[in-house]
Amino acid sequence: MNLRIKHLLGLENVPQEDINTILDTAFSFREVLERPIKKVPTLKGVTVVNLFFENSTRTRISFELAEKRLSADTINFSASSSSLTKGESLRDTIQNLFAMKMDVVVMRHPTPGSVKLLSQFVDAVVINAGDGTHEHPTQALLDMMSMKEKLGSLEGVNVAIIGDIRHSRVALSNIFGLKTMGANVLLCGPPTFMPYDVVSLGVKVTYNLDEALQFADVINVLRIQKERQGKGLIPSMREYRNVYGITQQRLSKLKRPLTIMHPGPINRGVEIDTDVADSEHSIILHQVLNGVAVRMSILFLLAGGR
Ligand code: CP
């Protein structure tokens, strides 16, 4: 059950065999999460430090829970209460932490590429929990696990990723992972939300939401990232909802159900309406549960658990 990768920095170059191993192992850990005692001794003696330089609910708590479920020792680092506020450099902060013998680091940071840089100067397993607008590989893995759970396979599945693609690390990791697994990916959103180099991603693109819905078995609806917007990319949130918002009225025109996904946090009434997000076809909360199992799987496989 060895992986070819030594760190999880992104999904761009992760082979299909590794993704299959991670997902299969995650399904085994899902069973542990259904037990009355949801804990195994697999990572006893392994120390994991969670470095979050950006806000997070799902990813941070999910990693912490996964580490506890595997019996690892967990350290939570908060940038706002650290010596970074006294002017210490990130490199010094991290080298001091690692002088205390950490085995695994999970990092979320607003700068694309920061996690790769970290992997070059620490002697530990590095896991990307989201680096700016670059990648969020564990989110894409939990998304793929949730699609596989619902549909049985990823091969040939039509996935439409809808919304703010340009600012979305979730979209990029999903594109890389889904392509590797043989799914068909279509991106949909306003032209101002498409990456400049969208052609190089090798996926279909449409600016027409109804066309995307016609194509899709699954829609993965992205959050409008208010904190990363430049000025004037969309006229207003109201206009965005009118043209690209996922509403029950729009879906009912299809006469067949779509699987509804969203990585969270949701802007209800903007990119997706509440009755769609909470409908019987939504697997949004399954994604959250699968997030714990996927993170257990990655920690186990990369940190050499038994
Ligand atoms: N999906 C996701 O990354 O959510 P958080 O920002 O809450 O971690």
C-alpha 61 – ligand 1 centre gap (Å): 9
Q: Which residue in 142, 210, 208, 151 sits closest to 184, CA to CA?
A: 151
In whole angstroms, what is the distance from residue 129 CA to residue 57 CA?
12
- Residue 112 is predicted with a pLDDT of 96
The verdict on the CB of residue 245 being under 6 Å from ligand 1 is: no
Question: What contacts 267, CB < 8 A, 6 or more positions away?
Answer: 223, 224, 226, 237
- Residue 85 is predicted with a pLDDT of 87
The verdict on the CB of residue 41 being under 6 Å from ligand 1 is: no
Residue 24 exposure: Cα atoms within 13 Å on the Cβ side:
10
DSSP string, 158-202: EEEEES--TT-HHHHHHHHHHHHTT-EEEEES-GGGS-TTGGGGT
What is this structure's pTM? 0.95
The verdict on the CB of residue 137 being under 6 Å from ligand 1 is: no
Q: What is the DSSP letter of 5?
A: -
In whole angstroms, what is the distance from residue 24 CA to residue 34 CA?
16
C-alpha 57 – ligand 1 centre gap (Å): 6
The verdict on the CB of residue 269 being under 6 Å from ligand 1 is: no
Determine the atom of ligand 1 nearest the C-alpha atom of 136. Answer: 3
- Residue 306 is predicted with a pLDDT of 58
User: 267 and 244 in contact (C-beta within 8 Å)?
Assistant: no
- Helix residue spans in 216-283 (DSSP H): 237-244, 248-252, 274-277
β-pairing verdict for 158-162 and 184-188: parallel
Could you say which residues of the chain have pLDDT below 50? Answer: none
C-alpha 205 – ligand 1 centre gap (Å): 25
Please give the helix or strand (H or E) that residue 3 lies within, else none. none
In whole angstroms, what is the distance from residue 171 CA to residue 136 CA?
8
Helices H, strands E: what count in the chain? 11, 9
The verdict on the CB of residue 264 being under 6 Å from ligand 1 is: yes
Please give the helix or strand (H or E) that residue 73 lies within, else none. strand 73-78
C-alpha 243 – ligand 1 centre gap (Å): 25
The answer to whether the Cα torsion of 200, 204, 209, 212 is positive or negative is: negative
Q: What share of the chain is helix, strand, coil (3-state, %, to 5)?
A: 45, 15, 40
C-alpha 143 – ligand 1 centre gap (Å): 12
- Residue 2 is predicted with a pLDDT of 87
User: 130 and 59 in contact (C-beta within 8 Å)?
Assistant: yes
Candidate of 50, 59, 173, 223 to mutate for ligand 1, largest count of ligand atoms within 8 Å of Cβ = 59
Candidate of 61, 139, 143 to mutate for ligand 1, largest count of ligand atoms within 8 Å of Cβ = 139
The verdict on the CB of residue 110 being under 6 Å from ligand 1 is: no
Tokens 């965005």 map to which residue?
Answer: 240
237-268 per-residue burial string, b: 16 or more CB within 10 A, e: under 16: eeebbeebbbeeeebeeeeeebbbbbbbeebe
In whole angstroms, what is the distance from residue 65 CA to residue 208 CA?
40
Residue 75 CB: number of other CB atoms within 10 A? 15
C-alpha 130 – ligand 1 centre gap (Å): 9
Q: What is the pLDDT of residues 163-215, one digit of tens each?
A: 999 999 999 999 999 999 999 999 999 999 999 999 999 999 999 999 999 99
Determine the atom of ligand 1 nearest the C-alpha atom of 62. Answer: 8
In whole angstroms, what is the distance from residue 157 CA to residue 175 CA?
13
Please give the helix or strand (H or E) that residue 302 lies within, else none. helix 284-302
Candidate of 53, 55, 58, 142 to mutate for ligand 1, largest count of ligand atoms within 8 Å of Cβ = 58
